[in-house]
Structure 1
């Protein structure tokens, strides 16, 4: 490990929260595409049926990608939270060792 390594736990928490917010936004966008696929289904599209089906397919594709993005953003948030928690625990343990050493002298 490099001696120049440093970590700001507050910035990691802020980044994690931002990724979680992104996940929620992507999920909201994914749910909003449902109205595209489900609206106007009762209309007889006749000569425009192929176009209508393509629109529904595109909406489903977009919903799937937005859902994937939402899940990945949640994963990134979870990793950042985990790493911050682990480093905070390690830092606290090290601080406790130093306190015990100082008390022993």
Structure 2
């Protein structure tokens, strides 16, 4: 395996880890919106109830989008990890074939 190829694989693995961190952060942000949607439910909002209900719906919409983003970031991370693993395995197999060919000469 060449040094440049190893560095490229390492960058891919690092990028995968970064996407997974992003997914974790987005999920944490999604959980944070729960406090907006569920807080102050015991208050009688009277004439402001319509505004309060809209705020709750907005928080729910935001939570759903954050969870979608988290899911997509996890998918990107998984693809990068898979591609890096496959490329590394193929490179190692090719190197082993070359070694066997050299030994046979």
> TM-score range with shorter-chain normalisation?
over 0.9
For residues 37 and 29 of structure 1, what CA distance do their matches in structure 2 show? 13
Distance in 2, Cα, partners of 1:14 & 1:84: 10
TM, length-normalised to structure 2: 0.93
Aligned residues: 100
1:94 maps to 94
TM-score when scaled to structure 1? 0.93
Give the RMSD, CA atoms, in angstroms.
1.0
**Paired residue secondary structure (1:33):** helix
Per residue, is there more helix in 1 or in 2? 2
Paired with 1:85 and 1:67, the residues of 2 have a C-alpha distance of: 27
Partner of 1:3: none
Q: Does residue 13 of structure 2 align to residue 13 of structure 1?
A: yes
Cα-to-partner distance string for 1:22-67 (whole Å, 9 max, x where unaligned): 0000000000000000000000000000000000000000000000
Moved over 3 A (4+): none
Unmatched 5+ stretches in structure 1? 1-5
Q: Which residue of structure 1 aligns with residue 44 of structure 2?
A: 44
For structure 2, the residue ranges without an aligned partner over 5 or more in a row are: none
